[in-house]
Amino acid sequence: MMIAREVASYLRCSPSTVRRMVRRGLIPHYRLGKLVRFRLSEIERWLALHHEGSVLLRGRAVASNPAQLSLFPTKKENG
């Protein structure tokens, strides 16, 4: 199990970005009371899904072109 700081390092983003993705339900995670933990295997699978093709993310189709992928929805996508 990994903590947000470790996932952020793995994804090359900030821990606050990982926490924001958790709040929005965009990244696989587990809650242990107030603690949030991640499994490396699930993070890798999640990345592979986002890289390999179009996936459905909260009812929205995500582009299959990796150059068009965004881990963070834009204001337009949020509605």
Please give the Cα distance from 69 to 67 (Å, whole number).
6
Tell me what pLDDT residue 50 has: 77
Q: What is the pLDDT along the chain (79 residues), one digit of tens a residue?
A: 999 999 999 999 999 999 999 999 999 999 999 999 999 999 999 998 877 554 555 545 444 444 444 555 555 555 5
Q: How many CB atoms lie under 10 A from the CB of residue 50?
A: 19
Contact (Cβ atoms closer than 8 angstroms) between residue 11 and residue 26:
no
Instruction: Please indicate, yes or no, whether the overall pTM of this predicted structure exceeds 0.85.
Output: no
CA distance 3 to 47: 17
